[in-house]
Amino acid sequence: MKASLLIPAAGSGTRMGADIPKPFLPLAGEPVIGHTLRAFAEVEAIREVVVAVSEAWAPLVESQLRRHLPHCRHVLVDGGPERMRSVWNALQASSPDADVVAVHDAVRPFASADLIRRCLEAAMVHGAALPGVPVTDTVKRAEDGRVRETVDRSRLFAVQTPQAVRRQWLIDAYGKALRDGVSATDEAGLVEHLGRPVRLVEGDRANIKLTYPDDMAAAESRLNPQVPDIRIGYGYDVHPLAPGRRLVLGGVEIPHDRGLLGHSDADVLLHAITDAILGALALGDIGAHFPDTEAVNRDRDSREFVRGAVDLVRQAGFRVVNIDATLVAEKPKILPHVPLMRERIAADAAIGPDRVSIKATTNEKMGFQGRMEGMSAMATALLARV
Ligand code: MG
């Protein structure tokens, strides 16, 4: 199949309230028509593109054609005052050997290659085809502000482009319409006037026509999704080991012949986690929020530090996404206590235990951890804006 793409791009941008006509407004770093043309690049049957455009915008269209459809023949023709005239100009300039012509709105940048192929193939088989989506809103017919009728919407479709027609059919349809003085807002309307059948194929709700300023904003965010506001934090802590102290790690008391020394309960793992959470929002460190010079923090349960940091996160409009931590300790065995640690940290951070990872390693008998003089811990925390 050989197909020609016809694009009327001579209209003004009056509904957008902009000086620049809609097809040439910038969208995600490129004019709208550039996105529209790119949609056709993957469709092998398209051999030629004819754009109806005013002289002022012709150089821009030419550069977009070269950029997105370099393998196609390019033709620019003058636009007319209405779409129908622009399409007629483009149709007359199209190659006579095209089996099918596809007329597409310049401001419909989200047509998928599948949708385009569906239309072209259906036109090849049936003569004329256009995409349509069922109307989901209730439809009323009204006059002078008064509702006259509720229309049965079960057989109503909102139609889109590309509208694909055998080239000779569309020439005949234009000939008859011009003779009869009939105008239509789309090509299918002319084919219907010719008395030929038009096939409805499945459209795509994403294939929107950019009409109003908020359509542009929606298209922009679709092409250029905002990076979510996420923050990562890192924490490190170390405490010496001493006899006669309780060993508390990850909020769990573990039987051992010595414990970590510190002003609070010296839970090195929770201190690293607390610093990671505070660090993600650049809120300083654990010492700034819970100074070891204050009596209130003496022997304090370090889970309160975690909860305090999570409170600050909440006040800043964030939430914890996940936590990953590693404890470096030669002894004792940590693994049996990990499930309870994860459960407690998860509860304090208001997340599920599947978002808390606790790992432990020895230091291979090297350094202060290897000599069992102390333990260290490292943690990362990811936060996201609520
Ligand atoms: Mg500490």
Question: Would you state the pLDDT for residue 227?
Answer: 77
Helix boundaries (H) for the chain: 32-38, 58-68, 83-93, 113-126, 167-180, 187-194, 213-223, 268-280, 286-289, 303-315, 338-349, 367-370
Distance 240 CA to ligand 1 centre (A): 10
Distance 318 CA to ligand 1 centre (A): 24
Of 93, 99, 45, 90, nearest in space to 69 by CA: 45
Per-residue confidence band for 110, with pLDDT thresholds at 50, 70 and 90: very high
Q: Which residue has the tokens 């000599």?
A: 371
Tokens read off for 246:
């309780």
Upstream peptide bond of 332 is cis (omega within 30 degrees of 0): yes
Distance 279 CA to ligand 1 centre (A): 15
pLDDT reading at 252 higher than 60: yes
Distance 344 CA to ligand 1 centre (A): 18
Q: Which residue has the tokens 């970590």?
A: 260
Distance 347 CA to ligand 1 centre (A): 21
- The residue type at 32: V
For 287-300, what is the mean pLDDT? Answer: 88
The span from the CA of 294 to the CA of 379, in Å, is 25
| Higher-scoring residue by pLDDT: 17, 134 | 134
Distance 151 CA to ligand 1 centre (A): 72
Give DSSP secondary structure letters for 43-81: -TTEEEEEEE--GGGHHHHHHHHHHH-TTSEEEEE---S
Distance 205 CA to ligand 1 centre (A): 56
Ion ligand 1 neighbours, Cβ < 5 Å: 237, 271
pLDDT reading at 14 higher than 90: no
Distance 329 CA to ligand 1 centre (A): 15
pLDDT reading at 149 higher than 70: yes
Distance 154 CA to ligand 1 centre (A): 68
Question: Would you state the pLDDT for residue 11?
Answer: 72
pLDDT reading at 17 higher than 70: no
Question: Would you state the pLDDT for residue 18?
Answer: 61
pLDDT reading at 226 higher than 80: no
Distance 385 CA to ligand 1 centre (A): 27
The span from the CA of 302 to the CA of 348, in Å, is 11
Mean pLDDT, all residues of the chain: 94
Distance 247 CA to ligand 1 centre (A): 13
pLDDT reading at 212 higher than 60: yes
Dihedral pair phi/psi, residue 149, rounded to 5°: -160, 145
The span from the CA of 56 to the CA of 64, in Å, is 14
Distance 267 CA to ligand 1 centre (A): 7
Beta bridge partners of 49: 5, 74
Length in residues, the chain: 386
Q: What is the dihedral of CA 108, 114, 116, 117, to 10 degrees?
A: 180
pLDDT reading at 20 higher than 70: yes
For 174-184, what is the mean pLDDT? Answer: 93
Distance 294 CA to ligand 1 centre (A): 14
Distance 291 CA to ligand 1 centre (A): 10
Distance 376 CA to ligand 1 centre (A): 9
Count of CB atoms within 10 A of residue 320's CB? 27
For 299-309, what is the mean pLDDT? Answer: 96
For 330-340, what is the mean pLDDT? Answer: 96
Distance 268 CA to ligand 1 centre (A): 5
- The residue type at 58: A
Question: Would you state the pLDDT for residue 12?
Answer: 59
Question: Would you state the pLDDT for residue 299?
Answer: 86
Model confidence, pTM: 0.65
Of 261, 255, 230, nearest in space to 243 by CA: 261
**What pLDDT, in 10s, does the model give residues 41-86?**
999 999 999 999 999 999 999 999 999 999 999 999 998 888 899 9
Question: Would you state the pLDDT for residue 16?
Answer: 52
* Share of the chain residues as helix, strand and coil, in percent rounded to the nearest 5: 35, 25, 35
For 155-170, what is the mean pLDDT? Answer: 96
Distance 255 CA to ligand 1 centre (A): 20
